[in-house]
Chain A
Amino acid sequence: AAGVIQSPRHLIKEKRETATLKCYPIPRHDTVYWYQQGPGQDPQFLISFYEKMQSDKGSIPDRFSAQQFSDYHSELNMSSLELGDSALYFCASSHIRGSRFFGPGTRLTVL
């Protein structure tokens, strides 16, 4: 069965650079979620989209933005990267009230 696809799987950036993470949800899933998981922490919700509209907002910094496109893929844009942004970034997808299936994650390292 098709799963959530995230790219890239690993990303290394320097401070103050920008990064774009991509997520391709499971086909026919209408909701996409972004999470950030720091080392040894549980995932923290950043933002979600339902049918291409932002549906919920969590602890997403102002330096980050996200959108969902007409083909339902989503991108998380991160600017002015800081050392503390180093984390595993998950995208998940679901039907609006269904089980959330997570992608493999993008491991971002900021040097």
Chain B
Amino acid sequence: AQKITQTQPGMFVQEKEAVTLDCTYDTSDQSYGLFWYKQPSSGEMIFLIYQGSYDEQNATEGRYSLNFQKARKSANLVISASQLGDSAMYFCAMRETLNTGNQFYFGTGTSLTVIP
């Protein structure tokens, strides 16, 4: 089974609007971490936001917030007031902490295009 599922291969959003990028995960671990990364066309992988499985509050970082619904195993990224520079691939990722080490899984990504 896929550890991280991103069902939206591509999304469009109008500039200044908010957009939600979906991410669901599959784990039986009690302790895990969820991450979102942005990858612009330049190729670099930029860390955006982190949510720990025990964090009761949703993580926020500037215009980014993570809508964490533990029971549903979802960790959607919300970008408010979209900007043209937000156009990029967005990857959801999960870290499981196992006795043998820690495993890190990426989703297949969502390509976001911000329209002027």
The interface bits of chain A over 91-111 (1 if a CB of B lies within 8 angstroms of the residue's CB, else 0) are 010001101111111010000
Beta-carbon contacts under 8 Å, B79-108 to A: 91, 93, 95, 97, 101-104, 106-108
Tell me whether chain B's interface is mostly helix, strand or loop, or mixed.
strand
B35 touches A100 (CB 8 A): yes
Residue contact B47 to A102, C-beta cutoff 8 Å? yes
Query: B45 is contacted by which of A41, A43, A56 (Cβ under 8 Å)?
Result: A43
Q: Is A88 an interface residue (CB 8 A)?
A: yes
Q: How large is the interface on B (under 10, 10 to 19, 20 to 34, 35 or more residues)?
A: 20 to 34
Q: Which residues of B contact A (CB under 8 A)?
A: 33, 35, 37, 42-47, 50, 91, 93, 95, 97, 101-104, 106-109
Contact A102 B37 (CB under 8 A): yes
Size bracket of the A interface: 20 to 34
CB 8 Å contact bits of A14-55 with B (1 = contact, 0 = none): 000000000000000000010000000111010000000001
State the CA gap A56–B85 with chains docked (Å).
35
Which A residues lie within 8 Å of B43 (CB)? 88, 104-105, 107
CB < 8 Å: which of A42, A90, A96 contacts B107? A42
- Residue positions of A touching B, CB distance < 8 A: 33, 41-43, 45, 55-56, 88, 90, 92, 96-97, 99-105, 107
